[in-house]
Amino acid sequence: MFSVTVRDHMMIAHSFRGAVFGPAQQLHGATFVVDATFRRAELDPDNIVVDIALASQQLHAVLSQLNLRNLDEEPDFAGVNTTTEALARHIADRLVEAIHAGELGEGARQLAGVAVTLHESHVAWASYEREL
Amino acid sequence: MFSVTVRDHMMIAHSFRGAVFGPAQQLHGATFVVDATFRRAELDPDNIVVDIALASQQLHAVLSQLNLRNLDEEPDFAGVNTTTEALARHIADRLVEAIHAGELGEGARQLAGVAVTLHESHVAWASYEREL
Amino acid sequence: MFSVTVRDHMMIAHSFRGAVFGPAQQLHGATFVVDATFRRAELDPDNIVVDIALASQQLHAVLSQLNLRNLDEEPDFAGVNTTTEALARHIADRLVEAIHAGELGEGARQLAGVAVTLHESHVAWASYEREL
Amino acid sequence: MFSVTVRDHMMIAHSFRGAVFGPAQQLHGATFVVDATFRRAELDPDNIVVDIALASQQLHAVLSQLNLRNLDEEPDFAGVNTTTEALARHIADRLVEAIHAGELGEGARQLAGVAVTLHESHVAWASYEREL
Amino acid sequence: MFSVTVRDHMMIAHSFRGAVFGPAQQLHGATFVVDATFRRAELDPDNIVVDIALASQQLHAVLSQLNLRNLDEEPDFAGVNTTTEALARHIADRLVEAIHAGELGEGARQLAGVAVTLHESHVAWASYEREL
Amino acid sequence: MFSVTVRDHMMIAHSFRGAVFGPAQQLHGATFVVDATFRRAELDPDNIVVDIALASQQLHAVLSQLNLRNLDEEPDFAGVNTTTEALARHIADRLVEAIHAGELGEGARQLAGVAVTLHESHVAWASYEREL
């Protein structure tokens, strides 16, 4: 199995609902350094997993929908705790949609899966991985 | 599959028995930067894998049993080579015990697995992963 | 010249005023991984720059005044752009006050200077350094 | 499952053929920071996955066949795009050959698999993993 | 003293002349992860050292003149060993020219100095710093 | 001013004397990731600060005198707290001796200074810098 990963980041504000979050129920924020991994069983005729330039562009496009915003006010997340885990799934799902829409190139339709890791600090991160 | 990882560290002395270890048969030491990963198929109603505050506390509690000690003198490790690999398993097993004891919260009983990585330097690390 | 550095982090929301900030004028947030450096010409009789446990505690105490908050609503920062640079100075100044108050130990009064670096992402950081 | 990883690096020149590579069709170069991971279901009697000194030596030996070269002129890669993905497989396959040849020790024959990650920058990396 | 640093990278081929370089006299390559630091005694009225968006753009523009090229064939470097040290100076000097040309904004004319660090691997880097 | 830095590591056991060290008065250990920086005002005719191969070898040679040992039993450190700060100075001083002995090449006699940083974990490090 092969994989290629590209990294980007976003800086957002949000708050959580639920006693488990303690003081993080207050409005605060985070930089998420985001790693998007694309998996594939065999390389394509160019010897690549995916066009890395397109992969970077699409990751940046997905993050641009969230970057520099207060997620508490985004309709997509109404009534949803935008935890690191949940954001990892949100970003992975958007990348899979982009793959299905052909935005990572025709060859990307052979991808086997996508994984997204969000680093919220030097001591904590969360991931979500799914098949295509 | 989702995962959440928290990082902490410990600083220990130890020595190894066996020709394969060469000069590491002498008493020496290591800083282990320890990453504990908790895996779960679906998020809980709060949209989390595990209460990250409890996960950090429990990792810290497990490492506190080892930190700033000479492992050669710890009864738990009598006759045992405390290699990076073996310590990764030791820590993972203690975390699983804590999960079963409810110390990571009731929701943590739905965790699918635990993985522990110990970084012994900038050029070497070891991991152990197991199911719950 | 000797120095010792300890690392911690905080997660805050804020917004900026001024056209130079572009979309960062919107409410957003950041994780700041914070490195506090203590400088000293000669080591003390224990062969240290500063009691590293106290240094870590004081850095954590200073960051706790900011962590998990919306800085736009903090009286300390009324009318102030809480840029990474400005926060580095704020934290350094609080650490110097703690040193003068004896909270890093009597020996810390011999420190020559303090520097604080805030990492706002994997591709950007800012520092402020000052003498005691 | 256990794993041990060792890190080394190589610095090579190369170029790619194919429109997908854009300006990387020009002769350019890369530092690849290379992580080689060895997986194994159970530890050996010494409590290790593999002799880490031999693992480091063999990784270094494999990289020495590529390091400080122009891969466009290496017969091994004639007509082949030496992408990060393809080099990860090349290095993993050489390590597996070394394992089968006994160069990582007799115990290494119990290894379950090998994974190789090549970091081409702070924002991109690729991996290949295979069973033994 | 304040500073702001932004990070980018470039991937180049080159070779060195001189026995001191040993096998690096062969054509090879490198990824340079490049940190550009801008220093200033006092913050501007917006509470910044420099417009970080402009700083990132200008660093990217300077690196684009080198990225994905064989430096042995660049007229700028004819007869010059393009060592990590020399490239750090080259990039710093181009950034200072951009500052003097107003491309980092009018406020950037108050900058006190520039430093550039090129990371050539996980175990080696070089820096050059100069005043404005 | 130019600088070149090389990185290596050592793994040692030790203990401290003095109430300020709390539980670190017990025998424990550390991995120190060691960065040695060589500073110089102007590059030599080869366009380098120092022969990086010799610099790496000498750093490795210095660390080999300490690596995989219990520093409490080393005559060099009898009656001395081998703090991170003190070890940084010890290593820097040994490197300066090597420079004066010509072991980093004749050109290294023009070096302006040396700095050594020891990373004891992901959250703490110490440095010592001196002129030649």
DSSP string, B96-110: HHHHHTTTT-GGGGG
Show residues of chain B in contact with F29, CB under 8 Å: 11-14, 28-31, 70
Distance from CA of F57 to the nearest CA of C (A): 25
Tell me the average pLDDT of chain F.
Answer: 98
Rounded mean pLDDT, D48-71: 98
Integer Cα distance of D58 and E81 in angstroms: 32
Q: What percent of chain A has pLDDT over 70?
A: 100
Q: What percent of chain D has pLDDT over 90?
A: 100
C100 — pLDDT class (breaks 50, 70, 90):
very high
CB F91 within 8 A of CB F32: no
Q: What is the pLDDT of residue A127?
A: 98
**Are C83 and E47 in contact (CB < 8 Å)?**
yes
Which residues lie closer than 8 Å to A7 by C-beta, 6 or more apart? Answer: A33, A34, A35, A36, C122, D122, D123, D124
- Touching chains B and D? (3+ Cβ pairs < 8 A): yes
Q: What is the pLDDT of residue E104?
A: 97
**Are C46 and F126 in contact (CB < 8 Å)?**
no
Show residues of chain C in contact with E2, CB under 8 Å: 85, 88-89, 126-128
Distance from CA of F77 to the nearest CA of C (A): 12
Strand A28-40 with A2-14, pairing:
antiparallel
**Are C128 and E2 in contact (CB < 8 Å)?**
yes
Integer Cα distance of B103 and B95 in angstroms: 9
How many CB contacts within 8 angstroms connect chain B with chain D?
Answer: 55
**Are B47 and A86 in contact (CB < 8 Å)?**
yes
Tell me the average pLDDT of chain C.
Answer: 98
Determine the 3-state secondary structure of E40 from DSSP.
Answer: strand
User: Quick one: which of C122, C91, C109 has its CA closest to C6?
Assistant: C91
- Touching chains F and B? (3+ Cβ pairs < 8 A): yes
Tell me the average pLDDT of chain A.
Answer: 98
Neighbours of chain F (3+ CB pairs under 8 A): A, B, C, E
Over the stretch A71-97, which tens digit does the pLDDT of each residue have?
Answer: 999 999 999 999 999 999 999 999 999
Show residues of chain D in contact with E67, CB under 8 Å: 23, 28
Q: Which two tokens stand for residue E79?
A: 């007869």
Q: Which residues of B touch D (CB under 8 A)?
A: 16, 18, 20-22, 80-86, 88-89, 122-130
pTM score of the predicted model: 0.98
Instruction: Give the end-to-end CA distance of chain A in Å, rounded to a whole number.
Output: 14
**Are E7 and C83 in contact (CB < 8 Å)?**
no
- Touching chains D and A? (3+ Cβ pairs < 8 A): yes
**Are F8 and E124 in contact (CB < 8 Å)?**
no
Q: Looking at the partner chain, which of C28, C121, C122 has a beta carbon nearest the beta carbon of A12? A: C28
Q: Looking at the partner chain, which of B7, B12, B30 has a beta carbon nearest the beta carbon of F122? A: B7
| Count of helices and strands (H, E) across chain D | 2, 4
Q: Which residues of A touch C (CB under 8 A)?
A: 7, 9, 11-14, 23-24, 26-33, 67-70, 120-123
Distance from CA of F33 to the nearest CA of A (A): 18
Q: What is the pLDDT of residue A8?
A: 98
CB A18 within 8 A of CB A25: yes
Over the stretch B37-53, which tens digit does the pLDDT of each residue have?
Answer: 999 999 999 999 999 99
Integer Cα distance of D122 and C83 in angstroms: 25
Distance from CA of B54 to the nearest CA of D (A): 25
Distance from CA of B37 to the nearest CA of D (A): 14
Show residues of chain A in contact with F125, CB under 8 Å: none
Query: If residue D131 lies in a helix (H) or strand (E), which one and from where to where?
Result: strand D124-131
Over the stretch F73-96, which tens digit does the pLDDT of each residue have?
Answer: 999 999 999 999 999 999 999 999
Distance from CA of B106 to the nearest CA of A (A): 12
**Are A4 and D85 in contact (CB < 8 Å)?**
yes
CB D34 within 8 A of CB D116: yes
**Are C47 and F83 in contact (CB < 8 Å)?**
yes
Check: complex ipTM more than 0.90: yes
Per-residue pLDDT of chain E (132 residues; tens, 9 = 90+): 999 999 999 999 999 999 999 999 999 999 999 999 999 999 999 999 999 999 999 999 999 999 999 999 999 999 999 999 999 999 999 999 999 999 999 999 999 999 999 999 999 999 999 999
- Touching chains F and E? (3+ Cβ pairs < 8 A): yes
User: Quick one: which of F3, F105, F106, F117 has its CA closest to F57?
Assistant: F105
Q: Which two tokens stand for residue E25?
A: 């006299």
Q: Looking at the partner chain, which of C13, C24, C26 has a beta carbon nearest the beta carbon of A27? A: C13
Over the stretch B68-118, which tens digit does the pLDDT of each residue have?
Answer: 999 999 999 999 999 999 999 999 999 999 999 999 999 999 999 999 999
Q: Which ranges of C65-127 does DSSP label H, i.e. alpha helix? A: 84-100
User: Quick one: which of C1, D70, A115 has its CA closest to F89?
Assistant: C1
Rounded mean pLDDT, F54-83: 97
Neighbours of chain B (3+ CB pairs under 8 A): A, D, E, F
Q: Looking at the partner chain, which of C1, C7, C53 has a beta carbon nearest the beta carbon of F129? A: C1
Q: What is the pLDDT of residue B68?
A: 98
Which residues lie closer than 8 Å to A30 by C-beta, 6 or more apart? Answer: A11, A12, A14, A84, A120, C11, C29, C30, C31
F63 — pLDDT class (breaks 50, 70, 90):
very high
Distance from CA of F107 to the nearest CA of C (A): 25
Among C31, C34, C71, the strongest candidate for a mutation testing the A interface, having the largest count of A CBs within 10 A, is C31
Rounded mean pLDDT, F38-54: 98
Over the stretch C21-31, which tens digit does the pLDDT of each residue have?
Answer: 999 999 999 99
Distance from CA of B1 to the nearest CA of A (A): 5
